[in-house]
Amino acid sequence: MNKKPFVTYEKLQEIVKEIPTPFHLYDEKGIRENARALKEAFAWNKGYKEYFAVKATPNPFLIQILREYGCGCDCSSMTELMLSKAIGATGDDIMFSSNDTPEEEFAYAASLDGIINLDDITHIEKVEKAVGKLPKKMSCRYNPGGIFKISNDIMDNPGDSKYGMTTEQIFQAFRIMKEKGVEEFGIHAFLASNTVTNDYYPLLAKKLFELAVRLKNEVDVHIGFINLSGGVGIPYRPDQEPNDIRVIGKGVEKVYNEVLVPAGMGDVAIYTELGRFMMGPYGCLVTKAINEKHTYKEYIGVDACAVNLMRPAMYGAYHHITVMGKENEPCGHMYDVTGSLCENNDKFAIDRMLPKIDMGDLLVIHDTGAHGFSMGYNYNGKLKSAEVLLTEEGQAKLIRRAETPKDYFATFDGFDFYKKVLE
């Protein structure tokens, strides 16, 4: 696929006059079109619901757009629960899936009447202690172990994952929860990350559907929903083709009719938790070339760094780069595109062929709409950037201001140092 920015060079020039680089820019039109496509792909399932993974892009303005299409919130921490509550998501609009979870977070999730999805069998007792009793509706995260393959391709290694219960444990958990008054059960699993194939969800669904039938028959419980979680990925590289969510939806429907319907379970709701798929392609990091260095390699230094986008430094992840205004120029120069952190892995690209970059050029780093801003941190005292929404009408709307030194030092506000540092 040909990766093109969703913003024009001319429009970007206008925006940077008002909002200095670096900043994350989001495409409202793309977000809405994608949300509609997902909803249509699973319209065959009466109870279908997408729980957007708040961790991917924890911005209330963006999540509110998804809420217009019936999306709930997948939360993994106290602050994500608080964010969700503040935008009106409570009850069945919240899925709380955490791990190594403090009791007070279970209590808070229960106070919102959110659905608690247990990562471990020992958490049954923790929820009971924190809440006083088990909620009537609960879910458990399943980990089948081993290696997850599609054909001969290894997609991921669930056996090495810290998430979820074994097969034996989930049967035991359901029995205990039933005895303690739980009436409606859900199953959740996350077996592979960022899969760029239409086959992942149907294969995962088949595993979970077969498990659900066994649990119903052997434990005699009511399975109300099956949560396929995330894992449907996006094409970060230009040579990858994007997933077709409608093909994926039809694949899940086929397996649903093959496994669940004959077992008398045609009323089971399907849930998803798609962070990367929902937002990833509809965000980019806008940065400016501010330094060049000619040593053993050719370096271009930009005003963004791993604080603004950690994935390349952390995972060696590929993010496509467009030099704005030079989209049609030949990629005749090899660069390392770097940030300013005192770490050699602070690079957005290594040995990347790009057009000649001049100081002041604007660079768009693609596919940062999920796990971009949210993974940021403050190493080297660097400050997190602004977030900007490009509306359907083509206007730039600030939806999060950039951090200031005052924000950075805010946790010292009870000490004399705080006053001195801000003098």
Backbone angles phi, psi at 18, to 5 degrees: -100, -35
Task: Work out the number of other CB atoms within 10 angstroms of the CB of residue 221.
Answer: 18
Domains of the chain, CATH where assigned: 28-280 (3.20.20.10), 282-412 (2.40.37.10)
Instruction: Look at residues 271, 167, 190, 181 and name the one whose alpha carbon lies nearest to residue 222.
Output: 181
CA distance 10 to 27: 16
- Quote the Cα angle for 212-217-220, to 5°: 95
101-108 contacts at long range (C-beta below 8 A, 24 or more positions apart): 101/126, 102/78, 103/129, 103/130, 104/78, 104/130, 105/77, 105/78, 105/81, 106/130, 106/131, 107/131, 108/78, 108/81
Biggest alpha carbon–alpha carbon distance for the chain? 72
CA distance 368 to 352: 18
CA distance 242 to 30: 14
Residues 6+ apart with CB under 8 A from 60: 83, 86, 87
DSSP run (H or E) holding 37: helix 28-41
Read out DSSP for 112-140? TTPEEEESSTTHHHHHHHHHSS--SEEEE
CA distance 121 to 213: 20
Read out DSSP for 6-27? SS-HHHHHHHHHHSPSSEEEEE
Burial class (CB within 10 angstroms; exposed 0-12, middle 13-18, buried 19+) of 75: buried
> For residue 332, what are its two tokens?
């005749």
Per-residue pLDDT tens, the chain, 423 aa: give them.
Answer: 789 999 999 999 999 999 999 999 999 999 999 999 999 999 999 999 999 999 999 999 999 999 999 999 999 999 999 999 999 999 999 999 989 999 999 999 999 999 999 999 999 999 999 999 999 999 999 998 766 666 555 555 676 778 899 999 999 999 999 999 999 999 999 888 889 999 999 999 999 999 999 999 999 999 999 999 999 999 999 999 999 999 999 999 999 999 999 999 999 999 999 999 999 999 999 999 999 999 999 999 999 999 999 999 999 999 999 999 999 999 999 999 999 999 999 999 999 999 999 999 999 999 999 999 999 999 999 999 999 999 999 999 999 999 999 999 999 998 989 888 987
Instruction: Look at residues 45, 39, 36, 40 and name the one whose alpha carbon lies nearest to residue 253.
Output: 45
> For residue 327, what are its two tokens?
């989209």
DSSP run (H or E) holding 34: helix 28-41
Give residue 53's pLDDT.
97
Give residue 162's pLDDT.
83
Terminal alpha carbon distance of the chain:
52
CA distance 392 to 318: 28
Residue at 151: amino acid letter: S
Q: Is the dihedral of CA 378, 370, 392, 52 positive or negative?
A: negative
DSSP run (H or E) holding 313: helix 311-315
Give residue 155's pLDDT.
53
Give residue 152's pLDDT.
52
Give residue 156's pLDDT.
55
| 150 CB-side CA count, 13 A | 16
CA distance 90 to 95: 9
